[in-house]
A and B are shown apart, each in its own frame.
Chain A
Amino acid sequence: MCIRLLLAFALLALPQFGPGADTQWILEQSTLTYHVSHPLHQTEGVSHAAKGKGVCHAGQCDFLIAVPVKSFDSGDSNRDLHMLQATRGAQFPMVVVRTRLPEEVSRSATIPVDLEIQFAGETAHYKQVPFQLVNQGNQIRISGTIPATLSDFKIEPPSLLTVPVKNEIPLRVDMTWHP
């Protein structure tokens, strides 16, 4: 009976302290910036409204980051509303990014990340996007640029004076995570 009790206790206690213990990461602050090119304009839209969470288990971490489309601010309300319309932002109000990373990459300086991005009612995958990691105490700062394009999400390029913007809309990411 004693052996049984000890075994039961060990079974209950081990997962709390073992190497496969679950950890969570929370997105503390973020700056997401999209860039749009037009012969007459170079425009950037910035959002600080992203929220994110990472759940690590058995050496693998699942991350989810989401940001409201309407939170991007280009400094021009008319342009922002047009962006919201062009990206179907009222119908699909969130940009959702998912990725899975090995837990040990938190000690690397640069990591290649596979991303799944849901935006404008479409889903696009980006393979091996390089991100830079900087450890800041118990926080990790992650930065990089996602090579997004309008055609990836079937967005018709907005035009100004009948000239459409470029297809490339790189998204610069700067995030600080803490466990």
Chain B
Amino acid sequence: MRRVFLKTIAFACLFLFTVRFACFAETNNDKPPADTASVPSVNAAADSLHNAIARAVTAAFSPVGSAVRPGPAYFEDVAFFPGQAQGNSQQQPTPPVTNPAPPSLGDLGFPTGQTQGNAQEQARLDRRTHMLKIHQRLGLITTVPLLATVLTGGFAGGKSTSSTARDFHAGLGSLTAGLYFTTAYFSIFAPRVPGTPTRGPIRLHKALAWIHGPGMILTPILGAIAFDQKSRGEKVHGIASAHGAVGVVTAAAYGLAIVSVSFKF
């Protein structure tokens, strides 16, 4: 038992002496550091020495100092060479970067919802534009019978109980009203986009609808009353006498509504 113990002590002394010698020899060679990094070291004392020096260097160059950090300092924390340590901590000096990645959209700080496409929203916009294009075309088409109705209105009077001009005027008026309400439908039922306040000339365009809209309801009603009175051989009287004036105001408001979104003032 005692012999075994002595043998163990002898081997340990021999091992330590060998380590010392190897360590001393290493300080005099000029091998590149990468060699020691790439080849796993079997020299425990050399590793120990590395460790101690590394801690000392870290303590010397770190602004916070290793003493601030609680817990034991690990060899990996002060790895000098690539591959020497796998788990990099945040306090480790950054190794030279070969080429930084170019900036990406995520770097700019836009909210995620703002940068991602929305197919449903696009479909809503497409439908809205489609309906407003029809609104625009029908609105332009409506101007033709509207103008014609206003112009033929001057020939729709007279004293006779029936007249072709009056019938023609009434027919044009009916066509105008029909086209007008179809046009209005495509505007009223076009999808709204939430969170979009109305600004610009479209405000005047919409405001004028409060004039020509009721006007376009009232004018045919007054026209029908006037037509009845004329058919009975009566002079146009009462509320029906406003038919012409209401019609002209309605047509003017309608024309202005078109102009408001067509020309820049």
On A, residues with C-beta under 8 Å from B are 1-5, 7-9, 11-12, 14-15, 22, 40-43, 51-55, 57-58, 62-64, 66, 68, 74-82, 84-86, 88-94, 96, 98, 100, 160-162
Q: Mark B1-41, 1 if CB is under 8 A from A, else 0.
A: 00000000000000000000000001100100100000000
CB distance from A7 to the nearest CB of B (A): 6
Q: Is the CB of A51 within 8 A of B81?
A: no
Closest to A12 in B: B93
- A89 CB contacts on chain B under 8 angstroms: 122, 125
Q: A11-B96, A68-B114, A82-B129 are in contact. Are A1 and B53 (CB under 8 A)?
A: yes
Determine chain A's interface SS by DSSP, over half rule.
mixed
- B120: shortest Cβ distance to chain A, in Å? 8
* B66-115 with Cβ < 8 A to chain A: 80-81, 93, 95-97, 99-105, 107-110, 114-115
CB-nearest residue of chain B to A8: B80
Residues of chain B within 8 A of A78, CB atoms compared: 198, 200-202, 205, 261
> A58 vs B99: C-alpha distance in the bound complex, in angstroms?
8
Closest residue of chain B to A18, judged by CB? B96
Bound-complex Cα distance A142 to B227 (A) = 70
By a CB distance below 8 angstroms, the chain B residues around A62 are 102-103
Cα separation A5 to B54 with both chains bound (whole Å): 9
Interface size on B, residues (CB 8 A): 55
Q: Does B263 sit at the interface, judged by CB under 8 A?
A: yes
Q: In whole angstroms, how far apart are the Cα atoms of A66 and B96 in the complex?
A: 30
Interface pairs (11), CB distance under 8 Å = A8-B80, A14-B96, A15-B96, A40-B263, A66-B108, A77-B198, A78-B201, A78-B205, A79-B202, A91-B122, A100-B102
Q: Which 6 residue pairs of A and B lie closest in terms of their CB atoms, listed nearest first?
A: A76-B200, A62-B102, A90-B121, A85-B125, A90-B122, A8-B80
Instruction: Name, among A1, A14, A54, A86, the residue most crowded by chain B CB atoms within 10 Å (CB to CB).
Output: A1
Contact assessment for A86 and B199 in the assembled complex, using a CB-CB cutoff below 8 Å:
no
Q: Which residues of B come within 8 Å of A, CB atoms?
A: 26-27, 30, 33, 49, 53, 57, 61, 80-81, 93, 95-97, 99-105, 107-110, 114-119, 121-122, 124-126, 128-129, 132, 136-137, 140, 193, 196-202, 205, 261-264
Picked from A3, A5, A41, the residue with its CB within 8 Å of the CB of B57 is A5
Q: Chain A contacts of B263 at CB under 8 A?
A: 40-41
Q: In the bound complex, do residue B264 and residue A42 qualify as a contact, i.e. CB atoms below 8 Å apart?
A: yes
Task: Please indicate the chain A residues that have their CB under 8 angstroms from the CB of B115 in the complex.
Answer: 66, 93-94
**Closest residue to B261 on the A side, CB-wise?**
A78
Query: Given known contacts A8-B81, A51-B110, what 19 new A-B pairs fall within 8 Å (CB)?
Result: A4-B33, A9-B57, A12-B80, A51-B109, A52-B108, A55-B100, A63-B103, A64-B103, A64-B107, A75-B199, A81-B196, A82-B132, A85-B126, A85-B128, A91-B118, A93-B115, A94-B114, A160-B261, A161-B262
Q: Are A5 and B109 interface neighbours, CB within 8 A?
A: no
